């Protein structure tokens, strides 16, 4: 894809977007170009105008939403005049993040027909074009399926098919995989790669989860907080030289590059080659594995030892964890690490004859961070609601400190179990950020002075200073999420249940959040986290539960999970984290070398 005569398909010069209040420019003088058949990755910190830029490129701004757009956009060298949205849709297609609010019809066929009718496609051709589009995304069997019954990954495929049916020159994907489990995300990335090779299609990708995509990325555009382009070019130099700056801005980086850098430092191969030759920095799992298996044997052995060390430490056996300071736990009043706080016995939950969960048994222990993972729609959120006593199980029971949840007094129960929901908006109960944080402390009848002090600390810790008087709904998405977490953490609940807490966060905020949850667990409190991110599972979790088809398919340490056979993992929708993939390959290489001798 990196041939010399790259053909620019879409070029922007000094593109700026001004919303009617003139004050803020979400996009300001952006100049960039997309080349034929290339996948361009657009990166930037949260709320930097990536999505707004995407909407400028396909003419939603300024024609559908009132705004001022200056600068110009050229397609194949011709200036565009986006007066006809129908024409625009045929040139630049877009797929959005949320699979639920981007359809307007009920079945797959109706949705695609709607798109084609819009552009005035003659009736006789519509059937064939629907068929073609579905075939490209491998969904040609689901013509009559109601869209709301499809899984998250299938919905995204239909959204892509709807965009492809119009045969656009450029396809913009706005966080298409953020709601998907790792295997589905990987498959989607693969099919997008196949599509752009099959059709002459140019792709602009906006995404936080880089790992499934990295090996296909040809071109990188980085935006900064001010909405301008900070970097444009091949991805390698950026990640090789500007990593610290990217870190600071909260831009997600390929995990392969991070791991490579860490291993290089620790094995003593400290960045020499990186300084000499940028092309040695691997960006994808495949590249990482190729680089490290090619190193001499002693480096590989060192790497294996390094990789094994953190994996071993994470095993939740009492012996390994003895070196953790026990004083803290004593202060909190908890007896031992294996203290079971909450236990679920044969939990079954059915919703209108559909069995969501069946015979789930699990125990939540003090001082432990437990991760729950599994495919989309596996019943993870339902399980959390059951564990927190918000839903009544159809049969079975949840026992907290030896007493079933049903027998606890509501106020007492809420002071023991906290819950962070997927969408922070749902949890806000007060008019201002300050009141939101003070809410539960006021319920506990603490003194106003004490509340002010505690709220001040929280505002600082969660970077919300200066927003005290704002309405919680007026905050940005990342701020809302932080407020939701902060408001929940004002109570010192023994058990904290979190539903995808890092979803939609930038890298900085996500890592910080996971660190603070880990710190809570180390204090002797119990934390349960639903996540699709295996790197987080690897790094922070003591124990992981894989939930699929309403049953627990696996329970154990992350390390034992990664050592499960490949077909099992992919059936559960899981891709092992980078470090574990590399370790397995290095051990294989070692084994091969040993047998060759």
Partner 1 sequence: MLALQNSKSKPSRRHLFLALGRLNPSIKAMTVVLCVVLLSLAFDPVTIASALLLTLLMTWLFGNIAWNRWLLLFAPFLILALGYFWTAALFPREAIQPDSVLILSMGPFKMTNQSFQIALALCLRTLLFSALSLLFILTTDPVRLMLSLMQQCKLPPKLAYGILAGFRFLPLFREELAIMQRAHRVRGAGRIRRTPRSLLYAFKRYSIPLLAGAIHKSERAAVAMISRGFTGKSDRDFYTRVQITWRDGLFMALMLAIVAFSFGLSHFLGSLRWYNGEL
Which residues of this protein are in contact with partner 1, per CB under 8 A?
55, 58, 60, 64-65, 84-86, 88-90, 93-94, 96, 98, 100-107, 110, 113-123, 126-127, 146, 148-149, 162-163, 166, 352-353, 385, 388, 390-391, 410-411, 414-415, 417-419, 421, 423, 425-429, 439-440, 443, 473, 487-488
**CA distance linking residue 257 with residue 272, whole number of Å:** 15
**CA distance linking residue 169 with residue 103, whole number of Å:** 21
Give 282 or 424: the residue with its C-beta nearer to partner 1.
Answer: 424
Burial 535-570 (b: 16+ CB within 10 A, else e): bbbbbbbbbbbbbbebebbbbebbbebbebeeeebe
Give 72 or 149: the residue with its C-beta nearer to partner 1.
Answer: 149
Starting from the edge strand earliest in sequence, which strands make up the sheet with 340-351, in order? 354-365, 340-351, 395-400, 403-404
Least distance to partner 1, CB of residue 274, Å: 41
74: exposed, middle or buried (Cβ count in 10 Å: 0-12, 13-18, 19+): middle
Give 148 or 262: the residue with its C-beta nearer to partner 1.
Answer: 148
DSSP symbol at 426: G
CA 134 to chain CA mean position, Å: 26
Give 63 or 241: the residue with its C-beta nearer to partner 1.
Answer: 63
**CA distance linking residue 354 with residue 332, whole number of Å:** 42
Structure tokens given for 124? 């006789």
Residue with tokens 């398909």: 9
**CA distance linking residue 188 with residue 172, whole number of Å:** 14
Give 292 or 434: the residue with its C-beta nearer to partner 1.
Answer: 434
Give 70 or 444: the residue with its C-beta nearer to partner 1.
Answer: 444
Least distance to partner 1, CB of residue 436, Å: 9
Structure tokens given for 125? 């051709």
Least distance to partner 1, CB of residue 532, Å: 19
470 contact partners, CB below 8 Å, separation of at least 6: 432, 433
Do 587 and 304 touch, CB atoms closer than 8 A? yes
Give 126 or 304: the residue with its C-beta nearer to partner 1.
Answer: 126
Length of the chain counted residue by residue:
597
Q: What is the DSSP string of 173-221?
A: EESTTTTS-HHHHHHHHHHHHHHHHHTT-EEEEE-S--TTTGGG--EEE
Least distance to partner 1, CB of residue 126, Å: 4
> Could you give phi then psi for residue 222, rounded to 5 degrees?
-115, 130
422: exposed, middle or buried (Cβ count in 10 Å: 0-12, 13-18, 19+): middle
Give 161 or 363: the residue with its C-beta nearer to partner 1.
Answer: 161
Do 70 and 233 touch, CB atoms closer than 8 A? no
Least distance to partner 1, CB of residue 561, Å: 29
Query: Which residues, in sequence order, are bridge partners of residue 350?
Result: 355
Least distance to partner 1, CB of residue 360, Å: 19
Least distance to partner 1, CB of residue 97, Å: 9
Give 231 or 439: the residue with its C-beta nearer to partner 1.
Answer: 439
Least distance to partner 1, CB of residue 317, Å: 33
Least distance to partner 1, CB of residue 504, Å: 14
Least distance to partner 1, CB of residue 356, Å: 14
92 contact partners, CB below 8 Å, separation of at least 6: 10, 57, 58, 59, 75, 168, 169, 170, 171, 172
Least distance to partner 1, CB of residue 255, Å: 30
Give 64 or 294: the residue with its C-beta nearer to partner 1.
Answer: 64
Among 528, 477, 526, 519, which Cα is nearest to 498's?
528
Structure tokens given for 358? 């069946």
Give 73 or 288: the residue with its C-beta nearer to partner 1.
Answer: 73
Angle formed at CA 27 by CA 22 and CA 28, multiple of 5 degrees: 80
Give 128 or 294: the residue with its C-beta nearer to partner 1.
Answer: 128
305 contact partners, CB below 8 Å, separation of at least 6: none
Least distance to partner 1, CB of residue 555, Å: 25
Give 120 or 325: the residue with its C-beta nearer to partner 1.
Answer: 120
Give 188 or 495: the residue with its C-beta nearer to partner 1.
Answer: 495
Give 437 or 583: the residue with its C-beta nearer to partner 1.
Answer: 437
**Dihedral in degrees, nearest 10, Cα atoms 452, 454, 460, 463:** -100
Using CA atoms, how far residue 573 sits from 153, 284, 375, 379, 439, in Å, is 11, 19, 5, 14, 39
Least distance to partner 1, CB of residue 142, Å: 14
Do 495 and 528 touch, CB atoms closer than 8 A? yes
Least distance to partner 1, CB of residue 477, Å: 11
Least distance to partner 1, CB of residue 519, Å: 21
398 contact partners, CB below 8 Å, separation of at least 6: 342, 343, 344, 345, 347, 386, 387, 389, 404, 405
């Amino acid at each position: 894809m990196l041939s010399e005569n790259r053909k620019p398909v879409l070029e922007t010069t000094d593109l700026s977007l001004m919303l009617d209040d003139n004050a803020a420019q979400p996009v300001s003088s952006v100049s960039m170009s997309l080349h034929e058949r290339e996948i361009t990755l657009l990166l930037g910190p949260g709320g930097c105008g990536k999505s707004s830029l995407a909407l400028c490129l396909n003419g939603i701004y300024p024609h559908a939403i009132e705004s001022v757009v200056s600068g110009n956009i050229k397609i194949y060298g011709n200036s565009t005049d986006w007066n006809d949205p129908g024409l625009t849709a045929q040139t630049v297609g877009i797929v959005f993040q949320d699979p639920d609010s981007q359809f307007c019809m009920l079945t797959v066929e109706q949705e695609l027909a709607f798109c084609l009718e819009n552009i005035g496609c003659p009736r006789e051709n519509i059937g064939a074009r629907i068929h073609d589009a579905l075939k490209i995304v491998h969904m040609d069997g689901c013509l009559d399926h109601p869209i709301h019954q499809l899984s998250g990954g299938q919905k995204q495929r239909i959204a892509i098919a709807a965009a492809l049916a119009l045969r656009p020159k450029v396809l913009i994907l706005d966080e298409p995989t953020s709601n998907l489990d790792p295997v589905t995300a990987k498959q989607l990335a693969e099919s997008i790669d196949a599509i752009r090779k099959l059709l002459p299609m140019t792709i602009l990708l906006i995404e936080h989860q880089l790992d499934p995509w990295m090996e296909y990325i040809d071109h990188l555009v980085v935006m900064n907080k001010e909405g301008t382009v900070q970097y444009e070019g091949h991805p390698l130099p950026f990640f090789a030289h500007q990593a610290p700056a990217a870190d600071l801005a909260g831009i997600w980086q390929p995990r392969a590059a991070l791991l490579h850098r860490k291993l290089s430092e620790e094995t003593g191969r400290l960045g020499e080659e990186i300084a000499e030759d940028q092309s040695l920095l691997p960006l994808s799992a495949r590249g990482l594995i190729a680089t490290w298996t090619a190193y001499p044997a002693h480096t590989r052995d060192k790497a294996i030892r390094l990789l094994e060390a953190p994996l071993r430490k994470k095993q939740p056996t009492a012996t390994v964890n003895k070196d953790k300071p026990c004083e803290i736990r004593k202060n909190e009043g908890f007896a031992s690490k294996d203290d079971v706080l909450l236990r679920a016995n044969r939990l079954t939950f059915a919703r209108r004859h559909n069995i969501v969960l069946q015979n789930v048994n699990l125990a939540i222990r003090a001082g432990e961070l437990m991760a729950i993972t599994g495919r989309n729609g596996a019943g993870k959120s339902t399980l959390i609601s059951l564990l927190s006593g918000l839903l009544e199980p159809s049969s079975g029971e949840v026992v907290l400190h030896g007493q079933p949840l049903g027998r606890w007094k509501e106020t007492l129960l809420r002071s023991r179990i906290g819950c962070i929901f997927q969408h922070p908006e749902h949890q806000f109960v007060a008019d201002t950020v300050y009141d939101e944080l003070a809410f539960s402390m006021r319920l506990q009848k603490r003194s106003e002075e004490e509340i002010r002090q505690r709220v001040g600390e929280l505002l600082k810790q969660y970077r919300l200073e200066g927003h005290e008087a704002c309405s919680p709904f007026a905050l940005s998405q990342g701020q809302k999420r932080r407020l939701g977490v902060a408001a929940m953490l004002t109570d010192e609940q023994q058990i904290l249940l979190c539903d995808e807490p890092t979803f939609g966060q930038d890298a900085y905020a996500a890592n910080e959040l996971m660190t603070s949850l880990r710190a809570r667990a180390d204090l002797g409190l119990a934390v349960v986290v639903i996540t699709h991110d295996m790197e987080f599972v690897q790094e922070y979790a003591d124990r992981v539960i894989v939930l699929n088809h309403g049953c627990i398919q696996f329970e154990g340490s992350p390390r034992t999970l990664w050592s499960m056979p490949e077909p099992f993992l992919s059936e559960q929708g899981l891709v092992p984290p980078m470090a574990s993939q590399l370790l397995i390959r290095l051990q294989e290489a070692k084994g091969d070398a040993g047998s060759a001798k």
